[in-house]
Amino acid sequence: MSVAEIEAREIQLDAPSGLWSEAWRRLRHNPAAVVGFVLVGIFLFVAIFAPLIAPEDPRSGDLSRLGGVCCPGPSADHLFGLDQQGRDVFSRIVYGARYSLLIGIVSVAVGLSVGLFFGAIAGYFGGWVDSVIMRMTDIMLSIPGLLLAIGIVAALGQGIWQIMIAVGVTQIPIFARLLRGSILATREADYVLAARSVGVGGRAILAAHILPNSISPVIVQGTLALATAIIDVAGLGFLGLGPPDPATPEWGTMLTDTTRYLQSAPHLAIIPGVAIVISVLGFNLIGDGLREALDPRFRGRA
């Protein structure tokens, strides 16, 4: 082996692993995060391949299958039993994953993009722009989240898009404040001053230096926001403000009338509830793991 080769290897060994590869490595060694990935993996798999997994049409049922009672519980024919309209609960749960995933992702995308836009403006320009935007977030945060979402659905009318917007809007102020805070913290950092002193323009500094360094808390919050969004969507559905078509297999909506059948058919409440818990827990576990993995204070450990 030549000296050059040995040196090359040493340099390679010494090269600091980047923030992301390091974070990924620690994430894989965190058992809780791994469980989170498994849960979310199941959730994604079911949502994507719903038509292949579900044995029956989730929307239409057959009352004659109930045999006059509500409602037959889990059996060999129907893994999760039948609901009060004679529909296969398993198929409804499987298709419900699609709605939760779709509504969750779109609403977080709405909240995240609008929130980041205003957060970036507020944090970068400061002054009166900052004050106006921050007072707006104060006002939005002064209405309890679910009430705000209910109010928006009431104004826009019921429907999947309206729910996405409603839940997304409730998340705007959180993302705006988060990004603003982390921009304010990085704006005064030495490397930003250095970039400014060599004449790099404002927009380039924002894009190349400030945003990349402010983004990790946003990613953590985004993951946790998915969990919150799924819960909020289910909450709206539970209150009867879900998708207007009663045949839609939305998890929260599936829980709405079940309290009436608690005595005879507890599975109608328990199964959709557990489905919500599993998916929400998955995102929470990943978010938590990410927070630890991306936090420089924890670096080098684990």
Partner 1 sequence: MLRFVVRRLLLLVPILVGLSILVFLWIRALPASPAVSLLGERATPETIRQIERQYGLDKPVYIQYLRYVENVAKGDLGTTIRTRRPVTDELRERFPATIELTIAALLFATLLGIPLGFIAAKRYGTWVDHSSLVLSLLGISIPVFFLAILLKYVFAVQLGLLPTVGRISVLIDLEHPTNFYLLDALIAGDLAAFWDVIKHLILPAIALGSIPLAVTARITRAAVLDVQNEDYVRTARAKGLSPRVVDERHIFRNALLPITTIIGLQTGLLLSGAVLTETVFAFPGMGTWLVEAIRQRDFPVLQGGILFVSLVFVLVNLLVDISYALINPRIRVS
Residues near partner 1 (CB under 8 A)? 32, 135-136, 138-139, 141-147, 150-151, 154-155, 157, 227, 231, 234-235, 238-241, 252, 255, 258-259, 262-263, 266, 269-270, 273, 276-277, 280-281, 284-285, 288
Whole-number minimum distance, CB 278 to partner 1, in Å?
Answer: 8
Whole-number minimum distance, CB 173 to partner 1, in Å?
Answer: 11
Cβ proximity to partner 1, 183 vs 276, nearer residue: 276
Whole-number minimum distance, CB 252 to partner 1, in Å?
Answer: 8
Whole-number minimum distance, CB 88 to partner 1, in Å?
Answer: 21
Cβ proximity to partner 1, 123 vs 235, nearer residue: 235
Whole-number minimum distance, CB 262 to partner 1, in Å?
Answer: 5
Cβ proximity to partner 1, 143 vs 207, nearer residue: 143
Cβ proximity to partner 1, 51 vs 157, nearer residue: 157
DSSP calls for the chain: --HHHHHHHHHHHHSPPPHHHHHHHHHHT-HHHHHHHHHHHHHHHHHHTHHHH-SS-SS---GGGGTTSS---S-SSSTT-B-TTS-BHHHHHHHHHHHHHHHHHHHHHHHHHHHHHHHHHHHHH-HHHHHHHHHHHHHHHTS-HHHHHHHHHHHH-SSHHHHHHHHHHHHHHHHHHHHHHHHHHHHTSHHHHHHHHTT--HHHHIIIIIHHHHHHHHHHHHHHHHHHHHHHHHHHHHTT-S-SSTT---HHHHHGGGGGGTTT-THHHHHHHHHHHHHHHHHHHHHHHHHHHH-GGGTT--
Whole-number minimum distance, CB 5 to partner 1, in Å?
Answer: 43
Cβ proximity to partner 1, 154 vs 204, nearer residue: 154
Cβ proximity to partner 1, 209 vs 258, nearer residue: 258
